A and B are shown apart, each in its own frame.
Chain A
Amino acid sequence: EAGVAQSPRYKIIEKRQSVAFWCNPISGHATLYWYQQILGQGPKLLIQFQNNGVVDDSQLPKDRFSAERLKGVDSTLKIQPAKLEDSAVYLCASSLVREGDNEQFFGPGTRLTVL
């Protein structure tokens, strides 16, 4: 079974530029998550999708971050414009269902450096 795929693996941009990350979850997983992991910290949930609907985006900085999962499969996370403090690893995860006791499967992450 293929795992969660993410691309690109690394991205370096200058502040105020835009960037987009892509995630393809495990086939059949209805729930998709984007986490932000700043160096030395644990991951923090940015947004959770159930199929193509948003379940929780309470910690997404909506003035600059946006995410979509139009067909309920793969997802894109965008930052526009980027700030220095957005430097982090962006992790995508998926699970079969949305309930909290469900195991989440994580991708390798995209490491973003904002200069």
Chain B
Amino acid sequence: AQKVTQAQTEISVVEKEDVTLDCVYETRDTTYYLFWYKQPPSGELVFLIRRNSFDEQNEISGRYSWNFQKSTSSFNFTITASQVVDSAVYFCALNEFSSNTGKLIFGQGTTLQVKP
């Protein structure tokens, strides 16, 4: 069955520290998509990145980087030199190609608090 696990419920760091948010997924599909979304206190989920199952290249976007490893079914997210504005709830999500829909299966979320 499809599932996304974010084992870290809450993380607290001091500004400028690096932090990694873990995401482990389960799926029987060979074609799937993985996402990260950010949910600030305002409530709207903001898209950060999408990865398809055939692209294991790591990606870097400014202070953000993502490490996708199919061998361990993980899609981890690292924030370098964290800032207070990074404080939010972060969700990892999975879409299975076989569903033939846009249905996203979300993890429980990790609350990140960055202290000044």
Contacts and interface: CB of A to CB of B under 8 A. Distances in A.
A89 B52 CA distance: 29
B25 to A, nearest CB: 12
B44 A109 contact: yes
A91 interface: yes
Given A42-B91, A55-B101, A104 B47 contact: yes
A107 interface: yes
A1 interface: no
Given A40-B108, A100-B95, A89 B102 contact: no
Nearest to A95: B102
Interface string B84-109: 00000001010111010111101111
A42 B45 CA distance: 11
Given A41-B109, A42-B91, A42-B93, A104 B44 contact: no
Interface stretch (A18-26, A43-51, A66-74): A43-51
Contacts of B96: 100
